[in-house]
Amino acid sequence: MGDKPTIAISHLGCEKNRIDTEHMLGLLVEAGYGVDSNEELADYVIVNTCSFIEAAREESVRTLVELAEANKKVVITGCMAQHFQEQLLEELPEAVAVVGTGDYHKIVNVIERVEQGERVKQISSEPTYIADETTPRYRTTTEGVGYLRVAEGCDYRCAFCIIPHLRGNQRSRTIESIVAEAEQLAAQGVQEIILISQITTNYGLDIYGKPKLAELIRALGKVDIPWVRMHYAYPTGLSPDVIAAIQETSNFLPYLDLPLQHSHPEILRAMNRPWQGRVNDGIIERIKTALPSAVLRTTLIVGFPGETEEHFQHLLEFTERHEFDHVGVFTFSPEEGTPAYNLPNQLPQELMVERRDQIMALQQPISLRKNQEEVGKIVDVLIEQENPGSGELIGRSARFSPEVDGQVYVTGEARLGTIVPVKITSADAYDLYGEVVNGDR
């Protein structure tokens, strides 16, 4: 190690940010820096920030202020660095560098320049970089799980979303590159790969001239990984070919995360959603018919400017009719720099919270019933944690994605990072409970 400083990384935000964090860690370790999980002992703290919505920014700012008060030398990376570059340097004298979303791979050079006494601003105005399987990476997830980014950036311009402004246009990796990284993760003992990008159903459009998700799914079917899961599937991109690929590929979980945001055509148009009102033309019914075992998750936004009681009732009825397995509901957050920021008819926060609570109350008995249908079944569970006090194991079945869905609480013995058969004995609206099945099923 010699006299190189030690560095801690504080990770905030989504799994795309997590992958950036993991690459920064990998590059720093490769360059001989000491990486410490304890921020108090580190010479520098890299804060990988989120700027997606107001609440995320508040958490990022709180973290930065706490570190500044503790006299830490802070390197600010991620979406907030891209978003508020000059302001951060002005308002946080403790910040020794800001690094944009397309520049995290230059982190070693940034630290070297800071060590020379420079205050570094390393931000490309248009992020174009995407890491691949050759970029060093140090995973921070539980041992059984690895995120795999198939593309970065987004070509859509939804009225409420700041992401394209912060992460640039879509840039996909080649199928060969993604498969090579999947093989690396398999060799590390990863049991579940989670494919992520801004719009995974558009994967490949920019480099191949058309979406290549079906080909990617089939290629990953040849990798020795028990579970492959996909996040952010826009329903219009779930073509018959993609659905056929999911059906034919035994390790590809029929778990579909459909970020619908709303159901009413007028609100979808105001949001500038890529398929506007098509969410009501039977697309979800077609998915359910083609993939009867599919687990459907969606996210919804309530309180978009101009959302009337009639629009909201439409969304309630839509949620009730489709009986999603999992639903996440957000209140609209006006983001400066997005078209929705200046729209008239902004709704009061109390009304938005009331609407969110109504949808969650409607969804709870649906989620409970779906979970109760698992009772008595033997399901595969990936064991991720052990409670040292009680010895109880915590994991997930294929129905649950990490951090956003429920968990399975398990009695019995199993190694962390392995998939074991579990008999489900009870359920509530969020989680399942069961016991490890030993011997034959």
* Pick from 152, 139, 170, 193: nearest CA to 18: 139
Chain-centroid distance of CA 143 in Å reads 18
Under 8 Å between Cβ of 75 and 47 = yes
Q: Do the annotations mark residue 79 as ligand-binding? A: yes
Beta bridge partners of 296: 256
Chain-centroid distance of CA 324 in Å reads 19
Q: Do the annotations mark residue 160 as ligand-binding? A: no
* Pick from 62, 86, 69: nearest CA to 10: 62
Beta bridge partners of 118: none
* Pick from 259, 187, 261, 200: nearest CA to 229: 200
41/186 Cα distance (integer angstroms): 33
Token pair 């690895």 is found at: 146
Name the token pair of 225. Answer: 């990984």
* Pick from 210, 10, 28: nearest CA to 136: 28
* Pick from 119, 117, 59: nearest CA to 85: 119
Helix, strand, coil shares of the chain, percent, nearest 5, are 35, 25, 40
Q: Do the annotations mark residue 103 as ligand-binding? A: no
Q: Do the annotations mark residue 50 as ligand-binding? A: yes
3-class SS of residue 53: coil
DSSP string, 219-242: HHTTSS-SEEEE----GGG--HHH
Q: Do the annotations mark residue 154 as ligand-binding? A: yes
Q: Do the annotations mark residue 377 as ligand-binding? A: no
Helix axes 107-115, 15-30, angle to 10 degrees: 60
182/251 Cα distance (integer angstroms): 13
190/144 Cα distance (integer angstroms): 4
Q: Which helix (H) or strand (E) holds 260?
A: strand 252-261
- Other beta carbons less than 10 A from residue 341's beta carbon: 15
**Binding residue positions for [4Fe-4S] cluster:** 14, 50, 79, 154, 158, 161
Q: Which residues are annotated as a binding site?
A: 14, 50, 79, 154, 158, 161
